[in-house]
Amino acid sequence: MDDIPPRSYGPLIETTVRIVTWNVWGLYGPWPEREAAIVATLNDARPDIVVLTESWAKHDDSQCARLAGPLGLPHHAFTGVAAQEDDAALSGVAVLSRWPVRRPARLAFGDARVQFTELDGPRGPIQVFGLVMDAWWLDQSQPRQHAVRELLTHVHQAQDTRAPLIISGDFNADPDSDEIRMLTGRTTAPAPGLSCYDAWETAGPPTPGHTWSNDNPWAIQLLWPNRRIDYIFSAIPRPGGAGHPRHTALLGTVPVNGIYPSDHYAVLSDLRY
């Protein structure tokens, strides 16, 4: 007997969209060399959508503008606040896309800064919420939980229930934390009827998937343990399994010309679309 797709989804979508999320560490360290390594790494991956956290903009220059051409991702949106490392710069969230951006919105939910975009993709819209969590220390779970509650309440009201909906970025929280369990339906949901796939858990290899790793010389300065704190989430359920992760991997785990691209590793996922 042929395999039968789950009835709740109907015939499964077999085509995919490739998304990468990456905390690129702003203007810290030897950033021009790091940025060249970021471009080289992303060029090899060939994503359709990239969410950058700790991305930067300064005067008439920005990381979005610098990366758009080399990556073939001409459409972008950015939201930022004053950068700690450079008084003249902004640091924030960028969404770069192969396809046009519609209805961009700069949002904030407690300690979470969010760039929303709806992308005009070739097979229908894709909704993307790119996020960076400003509450980053280990004991700040409470403000992170508050931010995730507000975020999910907004997402539930704003979502297109037929389109892939992606929430990605740097959450500064481990998979067993209450704030991440809230997203994946393992604790009380602030918006009943909305939960998310964790792309690494659903379609990654059987490894921890640490995006903050002491193998990375830029990361060891905090004396943290190895952690998985960067995520690609996608909302369920969707017709045809839209947004369901098919393949997930880490990027940026090796130096390029002797330089690690960032203090975080990136997450790549291919989602049904």
Give the CATH number for residue 124.
3.60.10.10
Predicted confidence (pLDDT) at residue 96 exceeds the cutoff of 60: yes
Query: Is residue 154 situated within a structural domain?
Result: yes
Helix (H, G, I), strand (E, B) or coil at 141: helix
Residues 6 or more apart whose CB falls under 8 angstroms from that of 189 comprise 152, 182, 195
Asked if 267 and 45 count as a contact pair (C-beta separation under 8 A), the reply is: no
Query: Is residue 143 situated within a structural domain?
Result: yes
Query: Domains in the chain: how many in total?
Result: 1
Predicted confidence (pLDDT) at residue 6 exceeds the cutoff of 70: no
Mean pLDDT over 12-22 rounds to 98
Query: Is residue 5 situated within a structural domain?
Result: no
Predicted confidence (pLDDT) at residue 72 exceeds the cutoff of 90: yes
Q: Which band of pLDDT confidence, cut at 50, 70 and 90, is reported for residue 5?
A: low
Query: Is residue 2 situated within a structural domain?
Result: no
83 is in which domain, residue-wise?
16-272
Q: What are the tokens at 102?
A: 């519609």
Query: Is residue 7 situated within a structural domain?
Result: no
Predicted confidence (pLDDT) at residue 272 exceeds the cutoff of 80: yes
Asked if 182 and 208 count as a contact pair (C-beta separation under 8 A), the reply is: no
Torsion region of 229: left, alpha or beta (phi above 0 gives left; psi -120 to 50 gives alpha): alpha
Q: For the beta carbon of residue 96, count every other beta carbon within 10 angstroms.
A: 28
Mean pLDDT over 140-156 rounds to 97
